Amino acid sequence: MVLCTSANCMPSPTDVSSAYCRCDVETGLSMRFTDVYEQGLISNFSFAQFPLQGINCENNYIDCLGAPCTAIEDNKAICECQLTPNAGQSTFVGCSESTDCSMYPFRSGVQLTTSSLNLSNALIQAMGHHPPECTP
């Protein structure tokens, strides 16, 4: 599975609605909105990279869920994600990373919608527990 949970991204030089994100390739339980029979590498959602802390930012929204990806090296892929400038999002950072949004102008994230919350809850139910949390 390809995970862009907290991927660093760069805007496409040719398409203002796209960003290219360097994502991790991992194994484990994951979910996505796209058809399971779709061919190729597709970005998923998983708690495999947790514990992470969520931060709410008013900067660029980069949505990688279901994005097409290309493997570039062991455990890494480049995904072409949708970019919506200044739309606001929640993104994830490591437990010891800065929570200053200006540090992450182009970082993948999620918008908290009914669909994304349902997806998260379904994954929690499938795992039988909540993802690990950062400790203070």
Residue range 13-54, pLDDT digits in tens: 999 999 999 999 988 877 776 655 556 788 888 888 888 888
**Structural domains counted in the chain:** 1
Task: Classify residue 71: in a domain, yes or no.
Answer: yes
Question: Strand 41-44 vs strand 2-11: parallel, antiparallel, or unpaired?
Answer: parallel
pTM here is 0.81
pLDDT of residue 36: 54
In a domain, 114, yes or no: yes
19 within a domain of the structure (yes/no): yes
- How many other CB atoms are there within 10 angstroms of residue 23's CB atom? 29
> Is residue 81 in a domain?
yes
Write down the residue that tokens 């200006």 correspond to: 102
Confidence of residue 80 (pLDDT cuts 50, 70, 90): very high
Is position 135 within any domain? no
Residue % of the chain over a pLDDT of 90: 29
Domain that holds residue 121: 2-127
